């Protein structure tokens, strides 16, 4: 026998509206243990049109449980204190403990007609539901339809990333268009599941062949290449610091950060030395062959001949050494070659100037050695990666995920490499030289767009990120910002994000900052942030019909830094050492 609609609602009954009811909020007298905070419930109501004789329209009002209160008026606080003082179990007394009143405060999400239900789009409720109306738990299909909203008619844009936290059987899909066009922020403390969430979204976007460039400071995304379905789509790149793409002052900052301060003469000559070296290494293949042979012979260094001229700090040190040697020995022929190939007459130095410049070579070599070690660490973490292409637009291909490994570099180097690549890609889109749209993902975004810049590299990165955040929508450049310290993020950049995935957050400064910047986050949801489980998140903004509490689905890929049991790892290493010894 078929069960009537009224009978079905009776079995799903959760409570009755009591007290004051408004078009935005109502209170519910709750049947015990029938609902939880963040549950989605419904109330059937009637709405009569003003100045109309037509029968009232039957509507369904959708609401979300914001918080639940429990009160027993027959168990006063005074009685509790008395029992505590005498260490008496309340259940051994004559006090009534069965007259609890459980009340839920519910936020109205919207309404839809009961007859011919909408495709998920909810209308604004302009008149409150009647007190004494019954609330019930809708079935999973209806909840999924309403959570999906208008996205139901645009399934090609839908990304399957989560389930409702309180209803695991309800899949939650979000609007991929809102993510790639209007920017997304994923905010959470360490260990809450940020990278897990980001990888799930990347895998979903990859199914739709959307071009993605990931700036990966720790190797969290190298595992994407190990997913069979993504194997042919993922390209990993190691990032060599592009010395000669910097301004001379920026390179001075790098050298001084990695070695020692420059003397006044070294600083005053650095512009000519740097630009001269850049011109020296920028010739045709035939010219470079001749210059390589000459420099190797002039310095008596066969390594230069073996490996050629490479645009790095080691070459800059060799070039300065050549200038110093020619100047100290008054070798006019060598100085003439240097001036000819560098285009810098000021490099026809005297012996005195050459002596002053001699200390610069040791500084450059020390900085080059430190930078080389960082690059080696970067290549090791990037595993089977290839060098970054000189033409940055090659990172953006249909269906390709380009992972730029930045591990091994200090924060200022990471910021510099990021800003150079992002600038080039954005400018190529503005000039229409790059036809494909692209999504840029910034892991540890507070290092690329910090609230306050402490060095020039960070200021340049902030400027780049702000420009993309503010203008990227017009030129098809989207952003995903991921941060464990949102209070350290540039507020202008974060405020341009129209979608948010907010996970567990304990730090009070971060909680306060998120409440202030994220306008779509309600106060009750903000109060939940410290208590969310790992993998739980509040979705808010344009990617979802209304804010919901979800459990993120597991991605196929694994991160490099996903923690294993330390003691299991220890025993595996011990066994491996023992096996090697036996051999």
Looking at the structure, tell me whether residues 352 and 267 fall in a common domain: yes
Average predicted confidence (pLDDT) for the chain: 90
**Residue scoring higher pLDDT (97 or 30):** 30
CATH number, domain at 191?
A: 3.40.50.300
Question: How many distinct structural domains can be found in the chain?
Answer: 3
| More confidently predicted of 562 and 271 | 271
* Cα atoms found within 13 Å of the Cα of residue 105, Cβ hemisphere only: 9
Q: What share of the chain is helix, strand, coil (3-state, %, to 5)?
A: 45, 20, 35
- Contacts of 435 by beta carbon, 8 Å cutoff, 6+ apart: none
pLDDT in tens, 104-163: 999 999 999 987 666 678 899 989 999 999 999 999 999 999 998 888 888 899 999 999
The predicted model scores a pTM of: 0.84
- 472 and 557 fall within a common domain: yes
Distance CA 385, CA 214 (A): 14
The reply to whether 143 falls in a domain is: no
Residue 544 lies in a domain: yes
Whether residue 372 sits in one domain with residue 291: yes
- With beta carbons less than 8 A apart as the criterion, state whether 173 and 552 touch: no
Last residue of a domain, one of 349, 377, 405: 377
* φ, ψ dihedrals at 528, nearest 5°: -80, -15
Helix axes 351-382, 248-258, angle to 10 degrees: 80
Alpha-carbon radius of gyration of the chain = 32
pLDDT category of residue 385 using cuts at 50, 70 and 90: confident
Cα 327 to Cα 404: distance, rounded to the nearest angstrom: 42
Query: Is 96:64 a contact under the CB 8 Å cutoff?
Result: no
In a domain, 295, yes or no: yes
Q: Are residues 189 and 253 in the same domain?
A: no
pLDDT score at 569 = 82
Question: What is the C-alpha to C-alpha distance for residues 109 and 24, in angstroms, rounded to an integer?
Answer: 8
**Choice between 76 and 13, residue whose per-residue pLDDT is larger:** 13
Residue 202 has pLDDT above 90, yes or no: yes
Residues 450 and 553 in one domain: yes
Reply yes or no on whether the pLDDT at 1 is more than 50.
no
**47 located within any domain:** yes
Lowest-confidence range among 16-30, 111-125, 128-142, 277-291?
Answer: 111-125
Mean pLDDT value across residues 444-448? 93
Confidence of residue 559 (pLDDT cuts 50, 70, 90): low
Nearest 10 degrees: Cα torsion 569, 557, 174, 509: 40
Check residue 117 and give its pLDDT.
Answer: 65
Dihedral of alpha carbons 110, 115, 121, 126, sign: negative
State mean pLDDT over 320-343.
96
Q: 499 is written with which tokens? A: 């979608």
Is there a single domain that holds both residue 454 and residue 533? yes
Could you give the CA distance from residue 405 to residue 402 in angstroms, rounded to a whole number?
Answer: 10
Q: How far is CA 188 from the centre of its chain?
A: 10
Sheet with 477-483: list strands edge to edge: 171-175, 158-164, 548-552, 536-541, 499-502, 184-187, 477-483, 438-442, 212-216, 401-405, 234-238, 386-387
pLDDT at residue 548, rounded to an integer:
94
Tens digit of each residue's pLDDT (9 = 90 or more) over 231-266: 889 999 988 888 998 889 889 988 987 888 899 999
Structural domain containing residue 106: 5-138
Q: Give the pLDDT confidence score for residue 154 in this predicted structure.
A: 87
Q: Is position 505 within any domain?
A: yes
Task: Choose the final residue of a domain: 331, 349, 377.
Answer: 377
SS (H, E, C) 194-211: HHHHHHHHHHHHHHCCCC
Of 377, 406, 423, the last residue of a domain is: 377
Q: Give SS3 for 564.
A: coil
Question: Does position 194 have pLDDT exceeding 80, yes or no?
Answer: yes
Percent of residues, the chain, with pLDDT higher than 70 = 95
Task: Determine contact, residues 568/575, Cβ cutoff 8 Å.
Answer: no
Residue 507 has pLDDT above 60, yes or no: yes
100 occurs within a structural domain:
yes
The pLDDT confidence band at residue 229, using thresholds 50, 70 and 90, is confident
Task: Show the tokens assigned to 277.
Answer: 């070296």
Domain presence at residue 33: yes
CA separation for the pair 553, 164 (Å, rounded): 10
Same-domain pairing of 187 and 45: no
- With a pLDDT cut of 90, the percent of the chain lying above it is 65
User: Are 348 and 476 in the same domain?
Assistant: no
User: What pLDDT was estimated at residue 560?
Assistant: 55
Q: Is residue 297 domain-shared with residue 266, that is, in the same domain?
A: yes
Query: Residue 2's pLDDT is what?
Result: 40
Angle at 128 between CA 124 and CA 133, to 5 degrees: 120
Q: Examine the domain organization and report whether 295 and 340 are in the same domain.
A: yes
The verdict on 283 and 313 lying in the same domain is yes
What pLDDT score does 97 carry?
A: 62
Q: Is the pLDDT of residue 7 over 60?
A: no
Q: Are 458 and 416 in contact (CB under 8 A)?
A: no
Q: What is the mean pLDDT of residues 505-528?
A: 88
Predicted pLDDT at 95: 65
- Say if residue 412 is in the same domain as residue 506: yes
Between these two residues, 574 and 65, which has the higher pLDDT value? Answer: 65
As a whole number of angstroms, the longest Cα–Cα distance in the chain is: 110
Q: Is residue 527 part of a domain?
A: yes
């Amino acid at each position: 026998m078929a069960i009537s609609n009224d009978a079905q609602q009776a079995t799903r009954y959760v409570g009755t509206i009591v007290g004051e009811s408004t078009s935005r909020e109502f209170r519910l007298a709750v049947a015990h243990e029938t609902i939880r905070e963040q549950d989605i419930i419904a109330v059937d109501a009637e709405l009569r049109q003003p100045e109309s004789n037509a029968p009232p329209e039957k509507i369904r009002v959708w609401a979300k449980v914001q918080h639940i209160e429990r009160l027993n008026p027959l168990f006063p606080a005074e009685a509790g204190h008395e029992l505590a003082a005498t260490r008496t179990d309340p259940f051994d007394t004559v006090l009534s403990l069965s007259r609890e009143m459980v009340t839920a405060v519910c936020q109205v999400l919207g309404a839809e007609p009961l007859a011919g239900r909408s495709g998920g789009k909810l209308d604004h409720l302009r008149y409150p539901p009647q007190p004494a109306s019954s609330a019930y738990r809708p079935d999973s299909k209806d909840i999924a339809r309403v959570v999906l909203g208008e996205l139901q008619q645009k399934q090609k844009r839908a990304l399957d990333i989560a389930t409702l936290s309180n209803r695991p059987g309800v899949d939650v899909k979000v609007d991929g268009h809102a993510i790639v066009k209007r920017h997304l922020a994923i905010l959470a403390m360490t260990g809450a599941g940020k990278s897990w969430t980001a990888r799930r979204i990347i895998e979903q976007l990859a199914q739709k062949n959307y071009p993605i460039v990931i700036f990966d400071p720790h190797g969290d995304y190298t595992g994407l290449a190990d997913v069979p379905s993504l194997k042919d789509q993922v390209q990993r790149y190691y990032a060599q610091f592009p010395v000669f793409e910097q301004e001379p002052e920026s390179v001075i900052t790098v050298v001084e950060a990695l070695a020692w301060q420059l003397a006044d003469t070294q600083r005053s000559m650095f512009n000519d030395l740097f630009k001269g070296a850049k011109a020296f290494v920028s010739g045709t293949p035939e010219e470079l062959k001749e210059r390589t042979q000459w420099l190797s012979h002039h310095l008596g260094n066969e390594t230069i001949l073996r490996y050629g001229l490479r645009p790095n700090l080691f070459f800059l040190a060799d070039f300065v050494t050549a200038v110093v040697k020619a100047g100290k020995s008054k070798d006019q022929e060598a100085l003439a070659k240097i001036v000819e190939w560098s285009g810098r007459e000021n490099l026809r130095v005297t012996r005195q100037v050459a002596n002053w410049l001699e200390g610069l070579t040791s500084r450059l070599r020390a900085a080059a050695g430190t930078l080389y070690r960082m690059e080696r660490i970067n290549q090791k973490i990037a595993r089977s990666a290839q060098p970054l292409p000189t033409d940055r637009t090659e990172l953006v291909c249909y269906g390709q995920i380009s992972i730029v490994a930045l591990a091994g570099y200090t924060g200022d180097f990471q910021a510099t490499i990021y800003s150079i690549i992002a600038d080039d890609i954005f400018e190529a889109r503005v000039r229409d030289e790059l036809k494909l749209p692209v999504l840029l993902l910034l892991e540890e975004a507070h290092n690329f767009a910090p609230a306050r810049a402490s060095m020039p590299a960070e200021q340049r990165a902030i400027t780049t990120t702000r420009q993309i955040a503010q203008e990227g929508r017009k030129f098809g450049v989207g952003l995903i910002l991921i941060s464990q310290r949102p209070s350290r993020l540039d507020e202008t950049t974060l405020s341009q994000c129209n979608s948010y995935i907010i996970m567990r957050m304990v730090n009070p400064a971060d909680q306060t900052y998120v409440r202030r910047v994220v306008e779509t986050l309600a106060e009750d949801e903000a109060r939940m942030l410290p208590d969310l489980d790992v993998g739980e998140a509040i979705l808010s903004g344009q990617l979802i019909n209304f804010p919901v509490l979800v459990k993120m689905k597991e991605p196929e890929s694994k991160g490099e830094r996903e923690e294993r049991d330390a003691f299991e790892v220890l025993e595996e290493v011990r066994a491996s050492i023992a096996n090697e010894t036996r051999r």
